[in-house]
């Protein structure tokens, strides 16, 4: 079975540019999560969707960040304009139900983002 697929794996861009990260969840999963990993704060939840609807975006750091899920098999996280402090690894995860212990979240391999 294909796992969660993220693209690109690496992104290097200049400050001020728009960045779009992409995610394809596991087929049949009804929850999708976007996380950011930094050295200082570890893995932080940015936003999650249930059945393509954003449920909680309280972790989105600023209005420069936006996320969409136009259908059950695709989601994007966009940063516009990007800043050097946005440099981090961004993970997408999906799960059946809300990811309780018996139905855990499955993570993609992440996008390493560097803003120069």
Partner 1 sequence: DQQVKQNSPSLSVQEGRISILNCDYTNSMFDYFLWYKKYPAEGPTFLISISSIKDKNEDGRFTVFLNKSAKHLSLHIVPSQPGDSAVYFCAGSGTYKYIFGTGTRLKVLA
Which one of the spans 12-20, 38-46, 68-76, 80-88 is the region binding partner 1 (CB under 8 A)?
38-46
Q: Which of 1, 42, 63, 71 binds partner 1 (CB under 8 A)?
A: 42
**What are the strands, taking DSSP E only, across 1-116?**
5-7, 10-13, 19-24, 31-38, 42-50, 53-56, 65-71, 74-79, 88-95, 106-107, 111-115
Which one of the spans 13-21, 22-30, 42-50, 64-72 is the region binding partner 1 (CB under 8 A)?
42-50
Q: Which residues are 107's β-sheet partners?
A: 93
By the rule CB under 8 A, 12 interacts with partner 1: no
Q: Which of 75, 82, 94, 105 binds partner 1 (CB under 8 A)?
A: 105
Q: Are strands 111-115 and 88-95 parallel, antiparallel or unpaired?
A: antiparallel
Count the alpha carbons within 13 Å of 58 in the hemisphere toward its beta carbon.
Answer: 2
Query: Residues interacting with partner 1, by CB under 8 A?
Result: 4, 31, 33, 41-45, 48, 50, 55-56, 91, 93, 98-102, 104-110
């Amino acid at each position: 079975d294909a796992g969660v697929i993220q693209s690109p794996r690496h992104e290097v861009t200049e400050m001020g540019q728009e960045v779009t990260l992409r995610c394809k969840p596991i087929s049949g999963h009804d929850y999708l999560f976007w996380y950011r990993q930094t050295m200082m704060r570890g893995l932080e939840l940015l936003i999650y969707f249930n059945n393509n609807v954003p449920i909680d975006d309280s972790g989105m750091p600023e209005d420069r960040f936006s996320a969409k899920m136009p259908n059950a098999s695709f989601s994007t996280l966009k940063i516009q304009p990007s800043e050097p402090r946005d440099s981090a690894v961004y993970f997408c995860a999906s799960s059946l139900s809300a990811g309780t212990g018996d139905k855990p979240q499955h993570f993609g391999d992440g996008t390493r983002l560097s803003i120069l």
